[in-house]
Amino acid sequence: MAADEKTTEETAAEAVGLNTLRPAPGSRKARKRIGRGEGSGTGKTSGRGQKGAGSRSGSKSRANFEGGQMPIHMRMRKLRGPHMKKSMPFEPFRTHTQHVNLQDLERRFDDGAEVTLEALKEAGFGKARDVPVKVLGKGALNKKLTVHAHKFSASAKEAIEGAGGTCVVVE
């Protein structure tokens, strides 16, 4: 092989550059030149039809145009300011908790049991990692339990302590 001959790989490597970029063959199509005589097929009305707003010069064919009907972006409610509940549909400041009711504790745990966050997770409650667990007062509790949770409702705390158990707030 002679020194001046280049392989196809070397030629391809040299050809790549900002000055040699071209669209792929067949990917770009020339625009249709309308209004060039009746014989062209797009003469006279030039593909705009006979009459109406669409046939006039300056007619808009926007993506959100709905034919004179009130557009959806104008029908939607206006989201103005953080002070109104309807202004924040995604509720970024809401505090989320995983709730566990007293009737669930009564059903799943034995008398004298230590109800930790891990025990709740094994029992099928409080599975989400970063969401605090709150014990709520729905149902009755007759067992003496030591319950560990992030929050307790007043009625739940009263019922747990009334049954002889204790409430431990987890930080």
Q: What is the pLDDT along the chain (171 residues), one digit of tens a residue?
A: 555 566 666 666 667 889 989 999 999 999 999 999 999 999 999 999 999 888 988 887 778 788 788 988 888 767 666 666 665 556 667 788 999 999 999 999 999 889 999 999 999 988 888 899 999 999 999 999 999 999 999 999 999 999 999 999 998
Fold of 98-169: Ribosomal Protein L15; Chain: K; domain 2 (3.100.10)
pTM of the model: 0.48
DSSP-assigned letter for residue 83: T
How much of the chain is helix, strand and coil, in % rounded to 5?
25, 10, 60
The sign one gets for the Cα dihedral 150, 124, 102, 93 is: positive
Dist CA 106 CA 163 (whole Å): 11
